[in-house]
Amino acid sequence: MHLESFDFVSTSVKSKTKRSDLQEKLPELAEAAPADEMTKPGFKNKASQTQKIRQKRVQCTSVLDTLDADMERRRKMAVEEDRIRLKRLMEAINSDPPPSWHVASLMWLDVDALEKRIEAYEKEEEEKKNEAKKKKKKDD
């Protein structure tokens, strides 16, 4: 945006100010200028840390076990998100003032679907635990 484009600025102001005066001048640095303390590698600089943080991997015997473990992990994360969403919906439904009838009825439909999904997941987890106990008893 040029200063000349403003019609309300008087001509005396236009002639007094130059574009170069409006820009901030940066200090000139020599090419051999020493680096700041923050850019030097040291114990505080994260780039110089040697220990890498790695994700914990599941010990699986086959490719299908790996995929199955990954799907279980994703499903668990989705159910946790469903629980958070269910909590927020219940807070919105029970808020003061309550939502309109139309919005509340849509929220109750979502609550019902979320509760069914969470209950199905919990039921499957219980079945898996029971099967694991049965296998353990057979092995002993």
Q: Please spell the DSSP secondary structure of 116-138, one letter per residue.
A: HHHHHHHHHHHHHHHHHHHHHHH
Q: Look-up: residue for tokens 């130059």?
A: 18
Tell me what pLDDT residue 75 has.
95
Percent of the chain past pLDDT 90, that is, above it, reads 41
From first CA to last CA, the distance across the chain in angstroms is: 82
Non-local (6+) Cβ contacts of 96 within 8 A are none
Whole-model pTM: value is 0.53
In whole angstroms, what is the distance from residue 33 CA to residue 35 CA? 7
Average pLDDT of the segment spanning 103-126: 96
Does residue 4 carry a pLDDT above 80?
Answer: no
Angle at 123 between CA 119 and CA 126, to 5 degrees: 140
Nearest in space to 73 (alpha carbons), one of 121, 109, 110: 121
Tell me what pLDDT residue 53 has.
63
In whole angstroms, what is the distance from residue 76 CA to residue 102 CA? 31
In whole angstroms, what is the distance from residue 87 CA to residue 94 CA? 11
On whether the CB atoms of residues 75 and 121 are closer than 8 A, the answer is yes
- Could you read off the pLDDT of 44-103 as tens digits, one per residue? 555 555 666 666 665 667 778 888 889 999 999 999 999 999 999 999 999 988 899 999
Tell me what pLDDT residue 7 has.
55
Does residue 132 carry a pLDDT above 70?
Answer: yes
